[in-house]
Amino acid sequence: MEKTVYSGNYIKVTEEQIDQNNWERCYLRDGVIVFAQKDNGKFIMINERRPHEDVPVRLRFVAGHIETELSVEENANKELQEEVGLRASDINIFYSVKASGTVNNRVYFAWAKNLSESKIPNPDGDVIVSIEEYTWQEIMNKFMSDELKWSLSTLGFLRLYHKFLNPMPKL
């Protein structure tokens, strides 16, 4: 029988006895990572203040947790509006990754285009230090130089690049 050990806004931890073993599971809220591309071809990234993390200011793509009452596309647009003051009229949810086992959640990847101004308040407060624009080549260089740490965002961006920006030939 599964027992909830902790339940917060973003994480739930459970324990369950299976075959004489105590299994712990962590359930994270599902998320969305948004690759917002401007008409000039550049991608929007933010420098965000994160005082509770090892690096207190980090460069990242627009991202956030899924609010279950909204569609994934609506969540992507809401994050864009909160973090960079833009709304996309074209959003393509092109990939997702589901983790199951000890850590459980799903992360969706959205390609957002046809952007227009539309700011709504950020519930995290004034955490955006700057909004940056980079070409896909500059982003790839940041990954390869380790200036931009490898993460699920890397996986999503590589998928976007190979599927849409520079498709690999079919084998």
The residue to which tokens 């994934």 are assigned: 72
- Please name each of the domains of the chain with its CATH number: 32-94+104-165 (3.90.79.10)
Using pLDDT thresholds of 50, 70 and 90, give the confidence band for residue 93. Answer: very high
SS3 68: coil
Portion of the chain with pLDDT greater than 90, in percent = 80
Nearest to 8 by CA among 31, 32, 29: 29
Instruction: Give me the mean pLDDT over the 136-153 stretch.
Output: 93
Name, in order, each residue with C-beta under 8 angstroms of 168's C-beta and a sequence gap of 6 or more.
162
Q: Indicate the pLDDT class of residue 54, thresholds 50, 70 and 90.
A: confident
pLDDT digits (tens, 9 = 90+) for 14-45: 999 989 999 999 999 999 999 999 999 999 99
> Could you tell me what percentage of the chain is helix, strand and coil, using 3-state DSSP and rounding each to the nearest 5?
20, 45, 35
Count of CA atoms in the C-beta half-sphere (13 A) of 123: 5
pTM of the complete model: 0.92
Percent of all residues in the chain with a pLDDT value above 70, rounded to a whole number: 97
Q: Please tell me the predicted confidence (pLDDT) of residue 171.
A: 55
Residue 97 class from Cβ within 10 Å (0-12 exposed, 13-18 middle, 19+ buried)? middle
For residues 108 and 33, the answer to whether their CB atoms sit within 8 Å is yes
Reading the block at residue 115, the tokens are 């952007």
* pLDDT value at residue 63: 97
